[in-house]
Amino acid sequence: MTSEQFRQLAKYNRWANARLYAAALDLSEISYRRHIGVFFGNLHGTLNHLLLTDRLWLKRLTGEGDHPTQLNAILYEDRAELTRARTAEDERLIEVVEKLDDTTLKGLHSYRTTSGMPKSQVLSDILMHIFNHQTHRRGQARSTYPPR
């Protein structure tokens, strides 16, 4: 994929997250926190996981920002705060992607896994993973919470 295509994905990611988090804000507290058997328990857990994993990857990519240690951590109990944090992280992801060119995307990027192991991957593969993961978890959230 090209740098321009990744820029489009980053902007789409922001748009899709804004829609999902807005819908989550409209749910009753009971519906929002109801345990429904998804991997992270409920919508709140899933949305926290989405933010957490983007922060983890952005830390790996930039060396800056929070570095969560558990993939099921709840970063924000309040969903309005979670939404604000999501918006900021989407902007941060866009800023990072906008700085990349096609040559850089083809290069290796080295980082440490959550267990501390060194790893290197082609940067475009990392970005594909980030956007694929977002789509996967949004799809889980959407299929679990049909419109009222």
pLDDT attached to residue 147: 47
Q: Using CA atoms, how far apart are residues 84 and 135, in angstroms rounded to an integer?
A: 19
Rounded Cα distance between 126 and 115, Å, is 18
Whether pLDDT at 148 is above 50: no
Give residue for tokens 């740098």: 3
The pair of structure tokens assigned to 125 is: 């593969």
User: Which pLDDT score is estimated for 26?
Assistant: 92
What's the whole-number mean pLDDT along residues 37-62?
A: 88
pTM of full prediction above 0.75: yes
Cβ-in-10-Å burial (0-12, 13-18, 19+) of 111 comes to middle
Token pair listed for 53: 């994993």
Q: Which residues have CB under 8 Å from 103's CB, separation 6+?
A: none
* Confidence grade of residue 143 (pLDDT, cut at 50, 70, 90): low
CA 16/CA 106 separation, integer angstroms: 27
Q: What average pLDDT does range 100-128 have in this prediction? A: 96
pLDDT of residue 109: 98
Smallest Cα–Cα separation from 96: which of 52, 130, 124, 61?
A: 61
Tell me, what's the pLDDT at 144? 64
